[in-house]
Structure 1
């Protein structure tokens, strides 16, 4: 057990950690014979809690045959649940016809036409292979359109693993003027000169945009951040739209999480704000790797030149037919069932948050669950927070949080390493109640042992 030393844990939590450790250790010896050869998600094999061998509906099964309710869902990608019949059938049918052509395929055009109906403000779409690739291409497009170099992003945001945006807020930063630093070794520090780091959900963001207006190509924001998902940021986003328009700065929405999840048309539909450029991923791919850049009609023309130098957007596996088949099946299902799917998921998300928050308030436990629609995050504090900056000030130590999610596995609930809790169409009301009970039971144990004092 490496996340926190068992010897300094209260006995009840140490026993819980040991139970989970024993449960997961059945297959660990077999994995260790291969050594540390695969490194993914920033973690080595020795850090991983669960090695998954299969998933169906809202559950996953690990290589020790433990079954967990999956609240990670591929970082929110599997909105229809694992192995949805329509998606599986579409993938199987296309696989028999070939998986990669590089030459254009009709499925990509079918998906594009469908998306144009759902996202009419955009003039076209560029497919790639991840949300990170999409944001990388969106930055390039914004610079080509405006002739400016700098990009504005917000503290607490996440825009993928490429060097340009792999930053976070320095711990001693001011809430009104956060300072960025790279969250990885190997990123050239000179890139920070091309960023304007803005305070999320804070009025000083607009003053900083005004200050840098002549150099900003685009301001990019997640309509709802995974680090502190909330439904009260509509006014902030509307003001952001107004300020960027005033200064001829592009507004970019990173909808990799929110796209097709908050609503069929994502965050722009949910909050009523239409950006100039948007990026997508996760849900759109139906569980296969995907990214997408969308832009207004006059902006999308820059990709082919349109009197300007063209903007490169290609890639070998971009718009590959296998992913297009999965994406088409997913979006068709979401569109056909949208009047049922989105209200149901929003109701379930609200119920999950209300149940946990009511329990914490009644028991006087210093924790609250925040969220919007079908995704949430547990905050290990009962203080009202406006952004991740305030979250990090008030929350308990990260080691305690890691131990909490480890013990949550003992209740049969899996939450991904980003700690965002996602719902799928396969999570029934009974399953949601089980998840809520698991959170409440684990919170009660940690509170009773004095582990949740801020």
Structure 2
């Protein structure tokens, strides 16, 4: 989109007049017109108010983040200075990141990569992780809020996991047969989550893939409903995007449209989209939901989810709850326990395996029986009663990961008992204290952002939190903030998901807050935020919002009646926000980083 970015830069910097802008717009290909529309709408939507995690997104913010195309010589000089400083403090990591590219293929190294910041964005080489901290090979220490994408509820190498894994390794780890840990893990897992039967898989992606297969086997239907903004792993069976017309499309290279055709992508929390599920119920095998999306933790549509549960029960559709991240984080039985909305199947993995490569599917026996045929006895005439769906995997029962899983689940149960309950309940869960600390930290930082008038909020749920830039969601300033946090001793994640763990002390949390504030102050001092009256200047340059609507009308006849649009302005604002988000996802950065 280099051409369109150049046009936008000229408009923002007042280098062209309205007529010239309109002429350039008319000459653009249709796809680039849509991209420009989304950018123009973004400039005009600052007065939309959305209540999320006790903050409001509104025009009161006085600053906007500098976009990559707006970087000046002073900005570039500062980036160069930081690059030199970082290289001096992490020379071995810098060398490794450069030399290893010849033979190392790493899908994560391009996550958030910006050309202007490239010298600052190499991955560190870690030497060790211990509790709440990471140590790189250059001897630097970091408070870790990446938490290995959320798997380390108790921090790095807690003693109870380390001892269990070492003990198992000393005994060997046969992969094919049973070991004692297998039965112990599945029984305890069922007890803690309330599900009837449990299957161990080799990864979270595989758990979701198999859950979809079970749904199709059980219903003899093909379609799977997913919701935009959710992430369910990297299987083609659940990866699709939605175009501007609501059609499902393959998300990237090597992905077949034939897979996307079997997926229906809806908007999470949109009650109107329940009608789509109802009208196509005879095609739909399952509705796959991340009950609180890790990429959108502020969206918590409880009533919508209750209606989905009711509808799926009525229409013989399986409800699959993806609690890969929320399971064992909000409480032992996850969001399903917190909101009292139980899925037919549920997938897990991030926490329950203690950081080992694993996943779990749990659910009602009548559906889980499609994996092994159901329960039977060896001393009578009984046999498996259900036709099986094909599933396999060499490491599904790996004793090392089972030992870690058993250690984690046992620790969780013991802490539940210590809190006064044999089984965890949302009101008395030992995790409540951690979740409250996360809430207090996020509220303090959100208040700081408001005080400094920067367009940033932190969205959070339980002990998960994400930094959200309101005006440039995937921009250069966001990535620079994470670099500065790293240089100030706090390590984040390329995925954007951050977590507090049981290993983080109160002093660690104070240090995180101090680091974020210091990094924001640096960005302000170095003028990476600018006065937002530039928005009014842009609007004046094009004279008024009606002229922007004229530009937008070049590709949409529905927007030609300006008087009618004005009368419907209040009703359209939420739809406008949804369009902005959809456009950005479709035309800016489609790739998913985990």
Match of 2:103 in 1: 37
Please tell me whether the aligned partners of residues 322 and 347 of structure 2 are also in contact (alpha carbons under 8 angstroms): yes
1:81 aligns with 2:155: yes
2:317 is the counterpart of 1:249:
yes
TM-aligned CA distance change 1:210 to 1:332, over 3 Å: same
**Contact persistence 1:17–1:403 (CA under 8 A):** no
The residue number in structure 1 matching 2:196 is 123
Aligned partner (choices 150, 156, 159) of residue 223 of structure 2? 150
Aligned length: 434
* Structure 1 position 265 matched with structure 2 position 333: yes
Q: Secondary structure at the match of 1:141?
A: helix
1:182 positional shift:
3.5
Which deviates more from structure 2 when the two are superposed, residues 13-22 or residues 285-294? 13-22
Does the 8 Å contact 1:280/1:291 carry over to 2? yes
| 1:95 and 2:173 are equivalent in the alignment | no
Structure 1: which 5+ runs fail to align? Answer: 382-393
Instruction: Report the 3-state secondary structure (helix = DSSP H, G, I; strand = E; otherwise coil) of the residue aligned with 1:354.
Output: helix
TM normalised by structure 2 equals 0.69
Larger Rg: 2
Is 2:420 the counterpart of 1:342?
Answer: no
2:553 equivalent in structure 1? none
Residue 20 (1) aligns with residue 86 (2)? yes
By how many angstroms is 1:108 displaced? 1.1
Alpha-carbon distance in structure 2 between the residues aligned to 1:162 and 1:432 = 36
Q: Secondary structure at the match of 1:96?
A: helix
The structure-2 alpha-carbon separation of the partners of 1:377 and 1:112, relative to structure 1 and needing over 3 Å to count, comes to: same
TM-score, reference length from structure 1: 0.89
Tell me the alpha carbon deviations over residues 68-109 of structure 1, each in whole angstroms, 9 at most, x when there is no partner.
111111100011100100000000000011123311222010
Displacement of 1:9 after TM fit?
A: 6.2
- Please report how far the alpha carbon of residue 363 of structure 1 lies from its aligned counterpart in structure 2 after TM superposition: 1.9
Cα distance change on mapping 1:298 and 1:357 into 2, 3 Å = same
The alignment partner of 1:49 has SS state of coil
Aligned residue in 2 for 1:132: 205
Q: Are the structure 2 counterparts of residues 20 and 4 from structure 1 closer, same or farther at C-alpha, using a change threshold of 3 Å?
A: farther
Instruction: Report the counterpart of residue 134 of structure 2 in structure 1.
Output: 60
Report the counterpart of residue 385 of structure 1 in structure 2: none
Q: Is the 8 A contact 1:341 1:425 kept in 2?
A: no
Give the 3 Å change call, closer, same or farther, for CA 254–400 of structure 1 in structure 2.
Answer: same
Instruction: Say if 2:446 is the partner of 1:357.
Output: yes
Q: Is the 8 A contact 2:96 2:125 kept in 1?
A: no
Q: 1:13 to 1:30 in 2, by over 3 A?
A: closer
Tell me the SS of whatever aligns to 1:405: helix
Which of 248, 258, 281 aligns to 1:190? It is 258
After superposition, what is the alpha-carbon deviation per residue over 1:163-221, rounded to whole angstroms, capped at 9, x for unaligned?
22233455xx37xx4x5443431111111110000111222321221232111100011
1:368 to 457, 469, 490: 457
Partners of 1:406 and 1:37 in 2: CA distance: 26
> Given the superposition, is the C-alpha separation of residues 8 and 234 from structure 1 closer, same or farther in structure 2, using an over 3 Å criterion?
farther
Match of 2:123 among 40, 49, 52: 49
Check the 8 A contact 2:68/2:475 in 1, yes or no: no
Does structure 1 conserve the Cα–Cα contact (< 8 Å) formed by 2:204 and 2:360?
Answer: yes
CA distance in 2, matches of 1:396, 1:126: 38
C-alpha deviation, 1:301, in angstroms: 1.6
Unaligned 5+ residue runs, structure 2?
A: 1-66, 112-117, 374-383, 420-428, 536-594
CA gap of 1:39–1:168, structure 2 versus 1, over 3 A, is: farther
Matched residues in 2 for 1:411 and 1:303: separation?
Answer: 49
CA contact (8 A) 1:230 1:372 kept: yes
1:423 aligns with 2:500: yes
Write the distance in 2 (CA, Å) between the matches of 1:77 and 1:9.
Answer: 40
Matched ranges for 1:211-290 at <5 A: 211-230=279-298, 232-290=300-358
- Relative to structure 1, the CA distance from residue 33 to residue 17 in structure 2 (aligned partners, 3 Å threshold; closer, same or farther) is closer
* Kept in 2: contact 1:24–1:49 (CA 8 A): no
**Distance verdict in 2 for CA 1:231–1:437, change over 3 Å:** farther
State the secondary structure of the residue aligned to 1:53: strand
Cα deviations across residues 229-271 of structure 1 (Å, max 9, x unaligned)? 1373222221221222221211111111111111111121122
In structure 2, the residue corresponding to 1:75 is in which secondary structure?
A: helix
How far apart, CA to CA, are the structure 1 residues paired with 2:345 and 2:387?
Answer: 19
Secondary structure of the equivalent of 1:292? strand
Change (3 A) 1:229 1:4: same
Alpha-carbon distance between aligned partners in 2 of 1:85 and 1:298, rounded to the nearest angstrom:
38
